[in-house]
Amino acid sequence: MLVPLSWLLEYVKLPEPVDAGEIARTLTGIGLEIEGIDRVGHEITSVVIAEVLGIEELTGFKKPIRYCRVSTGGPDAERQVICGATNFSVGDRVPLALPGATLPGGFEIGMSKRYGRVSDGMICSTDELGLGGDHSGIWVLPADAPLGADFAAYAGLRDVVFDVNVTPDKGHALSIRGVARELSIAYGVPFTDPADAGLPDWIDADGESYPASIADPTACDRFVLREVTGIDPDRPTPLPMLVRLVRAGMRSVSLAVDITNYLMLELGQPLHAFDRSTLTGPIVVRRAAPGERLETLDHVLRDLDPDDICITDSSGPISLAGTMGGLATEISGASTDLVIEAAHFSAPGIARTSRRHRLPSEASARFERGVDYELPLRASARAVAMLAELGGGTALPGRTLAAAPIEPATVTMRADHPDRVAGTSYGAATVIRRLTEVGCEVRADAGTLTVTPPSWRPDLTDPNDLAEEVIRFEGYERIGIAMPRTVAGRGRTAAQRLRSRVGRALAGAGFTEVIGDPFGAPEDLDRLGLADGDDRRRAVTLANPIRDSEPLLRTTLLPGLFKAMARNAGRGFADLALFEIGNVARNRPRMPVAPILPVDRGPDEHEVESLAAALPDQPRLIAAVLTGAREPAGWWQQGQPPRPADFRDAIEAARTVLDASGLRYQVRSGRPAPWHPGRCAEFVLTDDGGQVVLGHAGELHPRVIKAFRMAARTCAMELDLSLIERAAAALGPVQAPAISRHPVATQDVALLVGADVPAAEVEAALVAGAAAAGSVAQLEDVRLFDVYTGEQVGPGRKSLAYTLRFRAMDRTLTDEEVGAARDAAVAEAARLTGAVLRGS
Amino acid sequence: MSAPNNSYDPVRVAALAPDEVDRMTAEALAAIAAAADFDELKQARLAHQGGRAPITLASAEIGALPPEARAEAGRRISAAKRAIAEALTARQADLEAERDRRVLIDEVADVTLPWNRYPAGARHPVTTLAERISDVFIGMGYEIAEGPEVEAEWYDFDALNFPPDHPAREMQDSFWIGRPDGAGRSGLVLRTHTSPVQVRSMLTRPLPLYVVSPGKCFRTDELDATHSPVFHQIEGLAVDEGLTMADLRGAISTFVAAMFGEGLRTRLRPDFFPFTEPSADVSMECHVCRGASTEPGAPPCRVCRSQGWIEIGGCGMVNPRVLIACGIDPDRYSGFAFGMGIERTLMIRHGVTDIRDTLEGDVRFTAAFGVEA
Ligand SMILES: [Zn+2]
């Protein structure tokens, strides 16, 4: 909200000299954050009030041009100026910028020759003086404007405007009245309530005005109508009012509209003016009936919702309460008899209506934050009195008041509650004084305060609200700093530690972490080649996505990584290894709607479950992509190309993650999308419940690579980190191995197997065979040191060469013992995989 | 001299004559000294120390001397052998030293040649900064709490005292989740802040409760240099008996000291959040200029824009209505909460100027942070 300082000073007596910067700091310090201080009008110099003495119409130009003789009063005060506007006459008083004058925006006026005449200054419009409005018209001043006087001072153009960021709880501060009151409390200086100012003596006069009633007291509990007749719609808005409206960020429309806006800004009470002649029958405040429509001021015909609060007459809805008036009853340039409405509507009701129709307005902003329910009688009286006075009409003294009872809420709290919240000692006297200053009625009784907040503070409902009033006016700087308490925390969970560990492991392996786009396009799922029943097709949809083309939440991290890869490639980085740890979301079958639980008590177990049941699956995944060279190019390659990343690097990345988890897992070949069916490793965890697939790694399917326009042979891996975290959390602490101090015995074996036999199975068989033999010769390590295919082994076969390391716990092994253990290992490999010992 | 011996053989004994022994010794020492490499030294060793060396042959003749002459001749031969052995050892050492010297010179390499055969990876600074901040609070005894990103409205708003039709709900522009069948409301939202984790913590953890919750949040802001529809927050929550705003300030001051340096003042100013009452925004003294940039004529400070203070987050005392919605007795317990943006902290602490850098995945950006922010 824009707040001119001059307006505030009308109601707060601040000590001189007034320092705008200090006022801003003070207001910010009590919770009215000043986001900007605009020192307006101070640049205006040498603009004075002049009278038009004569007008010479120049001809022969594209538009009418006047050469005017003007005087600023006194001898030798006549000048001749060129003017392109025609809305003034001889005898009018106008603002005149003299040669050497400066106008808003630093625009300087000099003596100039235009249209063949010497122009000795410029007659100004409101726009040229920084008040906006119609540029084509000269600002014609009242006849009593003093000739020769400094115009900026006369019109009050020099001011300081504060931009106040009013938080949603402080509806009262959406008015000069509210800000002035806060300022007076902060400075401890007197405050004059504008709600008491300018009231006509007939304010309480009896007698009905235009008939009205409230049909739905949950929609409205105060509704006041007053009438004024015979106003002259062409009367201008008085200069000071106009300047204030503009400084507060509003546009001048017409006297009647300006008055209602002015009072809304000053008091915080939105007002609405109806053209009396357009009303038919008594007014009723009610919710809309099904099927009712209303054409609002913005010429939009709106279907009303049965929850909408509307003002109706016998013709039906004529206004959307507190939001926007109807077109049919709008006041026009011909309206002379007005009915002024001032009401107190349901805050949530107005919030819903304005939201439903996307009609945020100055009025709705105030109603939804809460308006002083004692204002309608006063604000309407002042409006009618001002319209009568300034518009030359007659105020009808009576008023219509439809009202539902309002019970002022009271809050009971311990007198030391603010002390206990702040950790500071204010004392009961200070607490009572501050609350009283805010406008509360406070009754103290044996350490307990019964507090009745004022009608303008509907936000004060709880003891903590009252504590905040005390604390903020006493100053947040009074709050001390206590040493943190000693708390028994258990550190990170196993899952949290694992997550850092795998991140560091992948970074150590040369992968760079990215935060991928969490949103996705349905087409991405097609590009991945996912089958219809694939889990990753069960994407959660946003009702209001940022981009309509990306309405889904991601179900896999891969497309986001592809995007990051493409972006890096576009910036000249072709060799990439990226990874991400992030959540995805997948709908579950038959998900119920999440209920809105009560908030006046904690939910029971069943209610918590009902919320959990409504949420989609949200596993945490870890994924990586590789493209280009795995190792950077360097001089050591002696002209050879650097080694490209391939599926084995992707598989190794997955192994890096799994090894960091400490889990024992199996690897086998897999065939799911989006991987190359012959170059995809599947990682499997075997536990009591059977086998769980943890994820996949390998080269991407050529079609996927093409669909995402990636470099050939791009590789990727994706694992379910939630599953890994859960399984790893069940592992106990690492148990130390028994270290034998006896000599090692190594045996190399070369095994011939079918070309399609996975090496992992051969190795597993060797390990199992050695273990099953129960020999003292324990197989300490198996290392595959050669894989050979070719002539020497024949077609369809391959040779796998292993080094087996045997050792005994208690002695040096004999050759016979080692040989027997080796034979047992090989025999099991032969049995399970058809391996044949080569060279035997 | 002793009396002549009958078996005396003048030819054979000539080798043991002092002159002859001196000559053999001198010859040996000269050969050893002249050995230019290990081969020549080996030859010299064979010639002057081996079984056929003159001195060796001479020592075999000692028995031929009359008994009274043997002792002296033996001493003479021994001294000669010792001199030869010492000379050999010394020369060996000299040659070895010379060889080592030469080898070390020959093997000089350019140690500035790059050997970066393995690519360098990095963790994202949002990840590592969240860990770093968490560590500060873990040090104070807090634990890390987590929650889902697709969240029930009740957790994200209602339980946090955002009334259904209150303008406070408009403070956070939400992504709403559609029903899988496309019809009607789902009651779900992409969490707009990490505060729903506070609610979940209060519902599931025993009291007293001290947690921090880092995580991803979503609001319908268009992406620009300072806004993003996806961002990260970290929030702290303490619920205990007798907690006050002074405790809140203590926690925040400890955090500021750990992350930005000792001795920086903090400042609270009133603000509004539905889930805290009273609420405040938190600023800290600028860690770069420490307020000096606000002095007249001082050089400007880019970090605090010469304000002297930097806003780092929001905080407040947990609104008792939130405690009630979580089944906690507000007459017995009070709480405080604070929150900050991780991207914002990156901007303050690490000079990030464009939030898009954190989201684009440019490897140059992330690489600069290594594995710890
Ligand atoms: Zn600074």
User: Which of B79, B106, B133 lies at the terminal end of a domain, its last residue?
Assistant: B106
d(CA A357, CA A354): 5
CB A343 within 8 A of CB A285: yes
> Considering the domain boundaries, does residue B257 fall inside one?
yes
d(CA A762, CA A752): 10
Pairing of strands A93-103, A107-108: antiparallel
Claim to verify: residue B233 and residue B273 sit in the same structural domain: yes
pLDDT digits (tens, 9 = 90+) for A306-349: 999 999 999 999 999 999 999 999 999 899 999 999 999 999 99
CB A307 within 8 A of CB A353: yes
pLDDT value of position B364: 96
Claim to verify: residue B34 and residue B167 sit in the same structural domain: no
Report CB contact under 8 Å: A512, B367.
yes
Residue range A585-607: mean pLDDT, rounded: 95
When pLDDT is cut at 50, 70 and 90, the band that residue B1 belongs to is very low
Does residue B12 register a pLDDT over 70?
no
CB A397 within 8 A of CB A202: yes
* DSSP state for residue A476 in the 8-state scheme: G
pLDDT value of position A839: 74
pLDDT digits (tens, 9 = 90+) for A49-95: 999 999 999 888 888 899 999 999 877 788 899 998 888 999 999 99
Claim to verify: residue B169 and residue B25 sit in the same structural domain: no
Does residue A663 register a pLDDT over 90?
yes
User: Which of B75, B106, B137 lies at the terminal end of a domain, its last residue?
Assistant: B106
Other Cβ atoms less than 10 A from the Cβ of A374: the count is 16
- Among the partner-chain residues A349, A365, A614, the one whose CB lies closest to the CB of B187 is A614
pLDDT digits (tens, 9 = 90+) for B276-326: 999 999 999 999 999 999 999 999 999 999 999 999 999 999 999 999 999
Which of B319, B168, B158 has its CA nearest to residue A369? Answer: B168
Does residue B119 register a pLDDT over 70?
yes
Residue range A287-291: mean pLDDT, rounded: 95
pLDDT value of position B349: 95
Residue range A162-173: mean pLDDT, rounded: 95
ipTM score above 0.90: yes
Residue range B157-175: mean pLDDT, rounded: 86
What residues pack around ion ligand 1 (CB closer than 5 A)? B 286, 288-289, 293, 301, 303-304
* Side chain identity at residue A526, one-letter code: D
Claim to verify: residue B278 and residue B332 sit in the same structural domain: yes
Claim to verify: residue B173 and residue B306 sit in the same structural domain: yes
> Considering the domain boundaries, does residue B114 fall inside one?
no
> Considering the domain boundaries, does residue B6 fall inside one?
no
Does residue B11 register a pLDDT over 70?
no
**A164-168, B177-181, B237-241, B303-307: segment of lowest average pLDDT:** B177-181
pLDDT value of position B165: 84
Does residue A296 register a pLDDT over 80?
yes
Burial of B331 (0-12, 13-18, 19+ CB in 10 A): exposed
Claim to verify: residue B177 and residue B304 sit in the same structural domain: yes
pLDDT value of position B148: 98
pLDDT value of position B3: 47
Report CB contact under 8 Å: A485, B187.
no
Claim to verify: residue B210 and residue B270 sit in the same structural domain: yes
Three-state SS sequence of A483-542: CCCCCCCCCCCHHHHHHHHHHHHHHHCCCEECCCCCEECHHHHHHCCCCCCCHHHCECEE
Residue with token string 């919750």 = B213
Report CB contact under 8 Å: B149, A597.
no
Distance B367 CA to ligand 1 centre (A): 27
> Considering the domain boundaries, does residue B119 fall inside one?
no
Report CB contact under 8 Å: A510, B118.
yes
Looking at A348-404, which runs of residues are DSSP E strands?
394-403
- pTM of the shown model: 0.89
pLDDT value of position A105: 83
Does residue A840 register a pLDDT over 60?
no
Distance B307 CA to ligand 1 centre (A): 7
> Considering the domain boundaries, does residue B1 fall inside one?
no
- Phi–psi pair at A658, nearest 5 degrees: -70, -40
Residue range A573-586: mean pLDDT, rounded: 97
Claim to verify: residue B170 and residue B80 sit in the same structural domain: no
Report CB contact under 8 Å: A481, B218.
no
User: Which of B106, B137, B166 lies at the terminal end of a domain, its last residue?
Assistant: B106
Range of B273's domain?
125-367
Bigger pLDDT: A237 vs B325: B325
> Considering the domain boundaries, does residue B229 fall inside one?
yes
Which of B347, B348, B351, B326 has its CA nearest to residue B337? Answer: B326
- Among the partner-chain residues A424, A462, A576, the one whose CB lies closest to the CB of B277 is A462
When pLDDT is cut at 50, 70 and 90, the band that residue A827 belongs to is very high
> Considering the domain boundaries, does residue B120 fall inside one?
no
pLDDT value of position B127: 97
Q: To 10 degrees, the CA torsion angle through B137, A726, A767, A839?
A: -90
Q: What is the mean pLDDT of chain A?
A: 94
Claim to verify: residue B83 and residue B140 sit in the same structural domain: no
- Phi–psi pair at B74, nearest 5 degrees: -60, -45
- Among the partner-chain residues A351, A468, A596, the one whose CB lies closest to the CB of B166 is A351
Residue range A550-571: mean pLDDT, rounded: 97
Q: Write down the H helix ranges in B151-283.
A: 153-156, 195-204, 245-260
Which of A486, A471, A477 has its CA nearest to residue B251? Answer: A486
Would you call B178 an interface residue with chain A, using a CB distance cutoff of 8 Å? Answer: yes
Claim to verify: residue B334 and residue B363 sit in the same structural domain: yes
Report CB contact under 8 Å: A368, B326.
no
CB A325 within 8 A of CB A361: no
Which of A132, A160, A215 has its CA nearest to residue A19? Answer: A160
Instruction: Spell A662-699 as b/e; 16+ CB within 10 A means b.
Output: ebebebebbebbbbbeebbbbbbbeeeeeebebbbbbb
**Residues of A with CB below 8 A from B220's CB?**
544, 546
Would you call B351 an interface residue with chain A, using a CB distance cutoff of 8 Å? Answer: no
What is the length of chain A?
Answer: 840
Distance B309 CA to ligand 1 centre (A): 7
Residue range B93-121: mean pLDDT, rounded: 89
> Considering the domain boundaries, does residue B117 fall inside one?
no
Claim to verify: residue B150 and residue B280 sit in the same structural domain: yes
Quote the longest CA-to-CA distance of chain A.
134
Q: Number of structural domains, chain B? A: 2
Report CB contact under 8 Å: B184, A33.
no
pLDDT digits (tens, 9 = 90+) for B14-67: 777 888 888 889 999 999 999 999 999 999 999 988 888 888 888 888 888 888
When pLDDT is cut at 50, 70 and 90, the band that residue A837 belongs to is very high
Q: Which helix (H) or strand (E) holds A579?
A: strand A576-583
Does residue A469 register a pLDDT over 70?
yes
Claim to verify: residue B163 and residue B136 sit in the same structural domain: yes
CA terminus-to-terminus distance, chain B: 96
CB A598 within 8 A of CB A555: no
CB A323 within 8 A of CB A364: yes
What is the length of chain B?
Answer: 373
Report CB contact under 8 Å: B122, A500.
no
Q: Give the CA count within 13 Å in the CB-facing half-sphere of A683.
A: 25
Residue A110, phi-psi category: left (phi > 0), alpha (psi -120 to 50), beta (remainder): beta
